[in-house]
Amino acid sequence: MVDFGKVITAMVTPFKEDGSVNYDVAEKLAAYLADNGTDTFVVCGTTGESPSMTWDEEYQLFQVVLQAVSGKAQVIAGCGSNSTKEAIAATQKAAKIGVHGSLQVVPYYNKPPQAGIYCHMKAIAEAAPELPLLLYNIPGRTGQTLQPETVARLAEVENIVGS
């Protein structure tokens, strides 16, 4: 049983005026939120501006937030991609740095059928079996809806723990 607590916060990513990630402010924000009731952070979801960041920036942000909230809160890393291979690599790398879970978005732009979404999510889960995964259904951004029947099939995969 995975317990991400009662308050999961989709954390914004602060940027500097030059467009680079402001890791100092991110660290302070994460610590403040953890001290004020956040049990788990979603880092680099769409609220966290993941589409405008590089993978290297995201991994550094995962590490900064992990350190800032160590022992106080958990971190769910947004590692989704429309490329299955890229999502697998990102998820495996995030798992190695110690995140507590991963958020996986329905593949965007490609508009796969439900069978394709199932295969995509299952492949990611199987590639990082130690990491709990949350499915992220945001049809307005992906152009595709994760159907309840597909979620039910994916719920049979041991480390897919929610959506």
Average pLDDT, the chain: 95
The pLDDT assigned to 135 comes to 97
Cβ count within 10 A of residue 24: 11
Confidence of residue 1 (pLDDT cuts 50, 70, 90): confident
Domain parsing of the chain, residue ranges: 8-162
Average pLDDT of the residues in 103-121: 95
Lowest mean pLDDT among 19-28, 56-65, 114-123, 141-150: 141-150
The pLDDT assigned to 79 comes to 97
The pLDDT assigned to 6 comes to 96
The pLDDT assigned to 127 comes to 98
Q: pLDDT tens for residues 49-64?
A: 988 899 999 999 999 9
39 phi-psi bin (left φ>0, alpha ψ -120 to 50, beta other) = alpha
Determine the Cα–Cα distance for residues 72 and 74; give it in Å rounded to an integer.
7
How many DSSP H helices and E strands does the chain contain?
6, 6
Confidence of residue 126 (pLDDT cuts 50, 70, 90): very high
Burial of 133 (0-12, 13-18, 19+ CB in 10 A): buried
pTM for this prediction: 0.94
Higher pLDDT, 46 or 103: 103
The pLDDT assigned to 46 comes to 84
- Considering only the top CATH level, what class is 8-162? alpha beta
